[in-house]
Amino acid sequence: MKDFQNIVQKAVETLRRPGAVILVPTETVYALVCRASDEAACRRIFELKQRPFSKVLGWFVSGIPMLQKCNVVVNDRAADLISRYTPGALTLISETADRETQGYRIPDHPLLAAIVEKLDEPLAQTSANASGQPDARSCQEALAQLAGSVDYFVDGGMIPEESKASTVVDTTVYPVKILRQGSVVVEI
């Protein structure tokens, strides 16, 4: 990707603006992301995607220290899976300090990982397709499906058709439970 550092800088500058939402490629599909702490931006993601507000947004994070800073409880089961299978397309569900749950993953996509690292806070995220529609595997497909415009987008080319969704594992139960088998084959 040309001008990698400039793209990361522009993405981070945009995300720091209140209400900002950007479109980026991931290992699996194109995604809408914003700062998880920015409620207005999170609402915009739901509106752009035409997604029911009852569904929770997952997070992209840089690792366990960021999760702990945000009051996500990383139990031994989650820590083991993080050490064995991340970074990559593994979404874990953990409890927060206030007994809610939060889904998150540590991305393996170099651009996305660099953005999260430089921003130094979780990114709320969801796939960039209209709710109920097929995943967007190109920037153009994503932009065409959205109900409005984003503040910045990165065209990272086509996401390969063989790319699968992330594997989703609930670490709040014992033994952990695989909720969706995706591209990462988890051995429990």
pLDDT tens digits for range 159-169? 998 999 999 99
Alpha helices (H) along the chain: 4-15, 39-49, 64-69, 76-85, 110-119, 139-145
Q: Quick one: tokens of 109?
A: 């996509």
Query: pLDDT digits over 116-145, tens only?
Result: 999 999 999 999 999 999 999 999 999 999
Taking only the tens place, the pLDDT of each residue in 70-86 is: 999 999 999 999 999 99
Q: Quick one: which of 98, 100, 101, 66 has its CA closest to 82? A: 66
Instruction: State the pTM of this model.
Output: 0.95
The CA-based dihedral angle spanning residues 15, 43, 150, 134, taken in that order and rounded to the nearest 10 degrees: 120
